[in-house]
Amino acid sequence: MFKNTGSLIYQDYQSLLKKNKIIAKNFLDIQIQPSSVDLTLSEECYEIKYSFLSPKNSVRKNLHAITTKKINLNKKYTFKKNKTFIIKLNESLDLPNNIFGMCNPKSSTGRLDIFCRTIMDYSDEYEKIPANYKGEMFIEITSRSFDIELEKGDSLNQMRLIYNKHLYVSDQDLKKFHNKNFLTLNNYNKKIIPNLLNGLKISVDLCNDNEIKAYVAKSNAPKLNFKKIKFYNSKDYWKSIKTKNQKIIIEK
């Protein structure tokens, strides 16, 4: 009944790999998540002058005009903060015309304040994978707070594919679900009215004064190695911010 509808799941991605609709050398099974695929960096990297889209050409055809340096990521390379790079991903696509998709940064990438977005051939939008897409994928990276070591095989973003035949969950459906189960609870685990407007809206909790509610990156933090998970002391990289009068000030 639900075959070839909605978001693709683990088994769908396995099938696309077997059929060479997702093409990748040295692909690892752990890259497949329940409803997404982790994309990985290849060794081909360029430092570039500025960001770009490529609606009328392949990404590769535009590279020569904006590249300042070519880098080989077979060895670790330090991505200096506020410099912009573009890297070919190990994965490429040969999708059928009933599948489209989107890419987005992984949560670990966001927590390190690494700005990244995916660029496709002949596409006028970042992160968008058109139906029937055939070609390479590239990722644009700017580390905005820290100098970070990256190398081939690191995974900063993920791909989510969707069948053309799908239904979005409406606010009315969400409300019905909340009435029967729950979407939002207060601090006492009591149901509260959800903020619904084309989906469930979430907000920042600044209710309690003198509590840590945010962090700001330290300007002279040590270099980070992206592969080293649960290795660094957060205090070396982040300064905490507490609320005052139920407010925080976010400075440039």
- Together in a domain, 185 and 251: no
Runs of H (alpha helix) within 19-95: 59-66
Is residue 135 in some structural domain?
A: yes
- Together in a domain, 58 and 131: yes
Is residue 122 in some structural domain?
A: yes
pTM of the model: 0.89
Contacts (Cβ under 8 Å, ≥6 apart) of 156:
39, 41, 105, 106, 109, 114, 116, 139, 141, 150, 226
- Together in a domain, 129 and 183: no
- Together in a domain, 137 and 58: yes
Contacts (Cβ under 8 Å, ≥6 apart) of 178:
184, 191, 194
Is residue 83 in some structural domain?
A: yes
Domains contained in the chain, number:
3
The tally of CA atoms less than 13 A away on the side-chain side of residue 223 is: 10
C-alpha distances (whole Å) from 87 to each of 26, 43, 111, 163, 232 are 17, 8, 20, 27, 26
In this predicted structure, what is the pLDDT of residue 1?
38
Decide if 99 contacts 110 (C-beta within 8 A): no
Is residue 29 in some structural domain?
A: yes
Q: Over its length of 252 residues, how does the chain's per-residue pLDDT go in tens digits?
A: 357 889 999 999 999 999 999 999 889 999 999 999 999 999 999 999 999 999 999 999 999 899 999 999 999 999 999 999 999 999 999 999 999 999 999 999 999 999 999 999 999 999 999 999 999 999 999 999 999 999 999 999 999 999 998 888 999 999 999 999 999 999 899 999 999 999 999 988 898 888 899 999 998 999 999 999 899 999 999 999 999 999 998 887
Query: For the stretch 54-92, what's the b/e string if a residue is b when 16 or more beta carbons lie within 10 angstroms of its beta carbon?
Result: beeeebeebbeeeeeeebebeeebebebeebbbbbbbbb
Is residue 2 in some structural domain?
A: no
Alpha-carbon dihedral sign for residues 54, 75, 116, 70: negative
- Together in a domain, 185 and 158: no
Is residue 51 in some structural domain?
A: yes
CATH number for position 138: 2.70.40.10
In this predicted structure, what is the pLDDT of residue 155?
97
- Together in a domain, 34 and 120: yes
Name the residue range of residue 146's domain.
10-163
- Together in a domain, 112 and 176: no
In this predicted structure, what is the pLDDT of residue 181?
96
| CA-angle at 174, arms to 173 and 179, nearest 5° | 100
Is residue 117 in some structural domain?
A: yes
Last residue of a domain, one of 146, 163, 180: 163
- Together in a domain, 156 and 82: yes
- Together in a domain, 54 and 141: yes
- Together in a domain, 80 and 132: yes
Decide if 197 contacts 171 (C-beta within 8 A): yes
- Together in a domain, 210 and 198: no
Query: What is the C-alpha separation between 28 and 17, in angstroms, rounded?
Result: 11
Is residue 150 in some structural domain?
A: yes
- Together in a domain, 90 and 122: yes
Burial class (CB in 10 A: 0-12, 13-18, 19+), 211: exposed
